Structure 1
Amino acid sequence: MRIDDPDRTWPLLALDRSGVEHNVATVAAALAGAGVEHAPHVKTHMSRRLWDRQRAAGAWGATVATPAQLRTVLGWGSARRLLLANELVDVRDATRLRAALDGGAAEEVWVCVDSPHGVEVLSRAFDGVTHRRLGVLVELGVDGGRTGVRTVDGAVRLARSVVDAGLRLVGVSGYEGPVASGTTAAELDAVARWCGHLRDAGAAVAPFVDGPVVLSAGGSAFADVVVRHLTAAAGARVVVRSGAYVAHDHGHYAHADPWTRLGVAALRPAITVWAAVLSAPEPGLAVCGLGRRDVSFDLHLPVPLVARGTGPTGRLTGPRALDAQVTALDDQHAYLRVPDDDLSPGDVVGFGVSHPCTTFDKYRTGVLTDGDVVVGTLTFDFSEEP
């Protein structure tokens, strides 16, 4: 099978198998070598097949972002430990989680709280009984950021209420992303200071934890800072949730690049989205069948990588270098500035992306490839059956 077989059409999401394998192995070895546990954020791809690769490489568990994702990943059967890196505030979701845990759907699930309401919801669903499969993390946020209590004192008060409600506290969690948008020295210092606050919160709630206190952070863009500063907490159990690394990208994460700063091999962008040139209506302009419905645009526009012609049966010719830039996207169209008028209708362009998370969710299936050869089909379980 090939990406240009007669039963396929453009746009097509392709993942390079060697790139995925390299990224998964590289990050697994780096985190294990640093003494850090890994719960990769599978909301990046929501693909059981990709998660199974991450699990086989040594991931402690899988991280999800929503109760619906939690139910989906529990349904895969291969994720026995999960972390819901978000507040669980609906008693219906908590009740379903209780039933799943009682039924043995997972060995352990950790959830976050940042309010008395969250504690009350869990207490009500779990009847004030310390459930050995449920762990609770108090989330620490930042001023002006998203979820999480804002102070260490607030974390302590909430930790006490978790224990008073008969729930098992395992530690603290947070997300460093709102602290910095780049990798200047000042921004990396800001992330380091945030890690210090999370360490302080962990030390403050440790008396309420039976065993090593968990410190959990994101880590995708600032893994080097997170690992270095959280592992400085003696006796703590550090769990990072890096997820975008599995595909990497040609934009945001390529620029952030915490892994080479951590002293390991550079990751490889593994995503290519292939799309056809629909029109070349005027000099210097080509329009491709690729838009907001097909590729991420929340951080940067897609990056044209190569162009390929098509033969009379639709087979692709060899790739050629392309001097082009995406200037705008509509729902299903990409506007390319092409100084050399090097694109014609029917050509196919391979695009790199910035922020893989918001590219995967455009698709329900994709292909795993070695060059043009399809070696597997991937399913992305972003929608749940009603």
Structure 2
Amino acid sequence: MTDPTQAAHPTQPSARATVPADPSAVVGPATKGLRLDAERTVADVLADSPRITDDAFSWPLLTLDDAALDHNVSLMARLCAEHGVEHAPHVKTAMSRGLYARQARAGAWGATVANPAQLRVVRTWGVERVFLANELMDPREIAWLRRELEASVAPGGTPCEVWVYVDSIEGVGLLSRGFAGASPQVVAGLGVLVEVGVPGGRTGVRSTADALGLARAVRAAGLRVPGVAGYEGSAAGGTTPEDLDKVTAYCRGLRDVAAAFVREGLVPGDEPVVVTAGGSSFLDVVLAELPGPLTVTGTGDGVDGGGGADGGGTTRDVRVVVRSGAYLTHDHGFCARMDPWDRIPGGEPMHAAAVVWGQVLSVPEPGLVLCGVGRRDVSYDIDLPTALWLRTLDENGGLRPAHDLAGARVTGLNDQHLYLTVDPAPAGSAPVTTQIRPGDVVGFGISHPCTLFDKWRVAAVVGDDDQVVDLVGTEF
């Protein structure tokens, strides 16, 4: 838990996030992926060390590879430590207390969320630092946040700090009115970061001048400005050299805005200036460009954005907070294509952890297989799923171990059906379709995990030999 002596400076980097263990969760007949006759605790389901092919489970089923999760969490933690940055993983991807607990144990500084509903959820997990990477515009939610921070500083309360974005004078006004008359201790728990966007992109101011104007307004309202925030994914859509140059320029622009804040004394003098970026696609550029102290010369004299000495000026420490979230499960599509990990010195590939298993329902014609998986089970906003594995029925109706499924591709989805096209057999060979029969089970990789987990209440974490080692819940 956070050291109570650090409550006056809640952004101390040495204090790490914690999250209590999952309470005794209950699953039952209504839980997708399970076939239970009555409600049971997760501990009870796992007591007999079941495998995903055992009677407790049904198809379709979302599984997460335990070793892949461990690899991804430890790799991210190591890279952040080596580059001297903090990690507040974006939990919107899975909204899973159990999965966030892994990241917290690995040293996550806090949790990032996308909206007030998610903020309330992670507070029930006991997360003490939450980063709402979005504008907070609802007066009701601002009032709730004030009550939450007031409770945290009351006798017996648990320390709490929440950061939010602002990109408009209206947003500043709402926060100002919502926290009018709040105690200094409560105000200290609220960080208001000015968001910087890109022309044609989504939220965020479009110029340094606008960023400065908002930061001045926040300070005039008696609120705290830790620094500047942005999402580098808005700057480019690919990984060509030109795309990476755009992301580089955007990250350097964030540092320039941070330096302008420091020059005007808008960031509290006893704190490092925060520069935060998100996303898992361009982490290589973020780690290369954002860390390092700022050297700020006199008013109007410019900034050495790389932190090098120029014969004068004030040096200010920078706290970089990255918000990467999708890396946790990675994928077989979009994340794999955008993968920055091989571009990071000392990095290595992330491992795809998520597989959705579905049963073959019909093989109505040569080359076409219909599976019991659909839009309600897999992500499809960027790419269709990828056929990975095949489990065939044995003579007793059981399923054999999975083996690679080659020559098959997903060509369409309905609500509850998946169209799997199988390549024709070479001349003189038996049709490949004869290798896939009704009752077999196919494992599919996904693309874009951020639109996968909302379709599931529970995911089965699997270890060796298909053994289910955990059931992690989602809270959307």
TM, length-normalised to structure 2: 0.78
Alignment correspondent of 2:99: 50
Report the Cα offset of residue 314 of structure 1.
5.3
Alignment partner of 1:161 is 2:217: yes
Amino acid at match of 1:219: G
- Give the C-alpha shift of residue 202 in structure 1: 1.1
The within-5 A match list for 1:258-277 is 258-263=340-345, 264-277=347-360
Q: Which amino acid aligns with 1:208?
A: L
Residue 352 (structure 1) aligns with:
445
After superposition, what is the alpha-carbon deviation per residue over 1:173-220, rounded to whole angstroms, capped at 9, x for unaligned? 111112211111111111001111111111112220112111110131
- Which among 299, 313, 336 is matched to residue 420 of structure 2? 336
Q: Are 1:197 and 2:253 an aligned pair?
A: yes
The one-letter code matched in structure 1 to 2:458 is T
3-state DSSP of counterpart to 2:452 = helix
**Unpaired stretches in structure 1, ≥5 consecutive residues:** none
User: Which is higher, the Rg of structure 1 or of structure 2?
Assistant: 2
- Counterpart in the other structure of 1:92: 140
- For 1:266-305, list aligned pairs within 5 A: 266-305=349-388
> Do 1:74 and 1:106's aligned partners in 2 also have CA atoms closer than 8 Å?
no
Match of 2:37 in 1: none
Cα distance between partner residues in 2 of 1:155 and 1:338: 54
Specify whether residues 160 and 150 from structure 1 end up closer, same or farther in structure 2 by C-alpha distance, changes over 3 A only.
same
Q: CA deviation at 1:232?
A: 4.4
Which of 277, 282, 306 is the equivalent residue of 1:217?
277
Matched, 1:242 2:307: no
Aligned to 1:109: 162
Equivalent residue number for residue 456 of structure 2? 363
CA offset at residue 312 of structure 1? Answer: 6.5
Please state whether the residue corresponding to 1:43 is helix, strand or coil. coil
1:373 to 457, 462, 467: 467
Aligned residue runs from structure 1 range 161-180, under 5 A: 161-180=217-236
Q: Deviation per CA, 1:9-49: give whole Å up to 9, x if none.
A: 11111001110001000110001110111000011111111
Q: Which has the higher contact order (CA 8 A, sep 6+)?
A: 1
Shift of 1:331: 1.3
Conservation of the 8 A alpha-carbon contact between 1:116 and 1:158? yes
**1:377 aligned partner, one-letter code:** L
State the Cα RMSD in Å: 1.3
Cα distance in 1 for residues equivalent to 2:93 and 2:398 = 31
Query: TM-score, normalising length from structure 1?
Result: 0.96
Partners of 1:312 and 1:44 in 2: CA distance: 40
CA distance in 2, matches of 1:287, 1:106: 53
CA deviations over 1:300-331 (Å, ceiling 9, x no partner): 11101011113467532122221210011111
CA displacement 1:352-386 (0-9 Å, x = unmatched): 1111111111101111111410001110011xxxx
Aligned counterparts, 1:6-25, within 5 A = 6-25=55-74
Which sits farther off after the overlay, 193-202 or 67-76?
A: 193-202
Structure 1 residue 150 corresponds to structure 2 residue 206: yes
Question: Per-residue deviation at 1:277?
Answer: 1.0
Q: Quote the residue 1:255 is aligned against.
A: 337
Gaps of 5+ in 2: 1-49, 153-157, 295-316, 424-431
SS at match of 2:122: helix
Instruction: Give the share of equivalent positions with the same residue, in percent.
Output: 54
Amino acid corresponding to residue 284 of structure 2 in structure 1: D
Q: Which amino acid aligns with 2:110?
A: G
SS in 1 for 2:443: strand
Residue 106 and residue 10 in structure 1: after superposition, are their counterparts in 2 closer, same or farther (change >3 A)? farther
Cross-structure match for 1:319:
402
Would you say the 8 A contact 1:4–1:314 is kept in 2? no
Structure 1 residue runs of 4 or more that deviate by more than 3 Å after TM superposition = 311-315
Partners of 1:128 and 1:166 within 8 A in 2: no
C-alpha contact (below 8 Å) 1:34/1:227 kept by paired residues? yes
1:356 is matched by which residue type in structure 2? P
Which segment drifts farther, 272-281 or 104-113? 104-113
Shift of 1:274: 0.6
* Residue 344 (structure 1) shift: 1.3
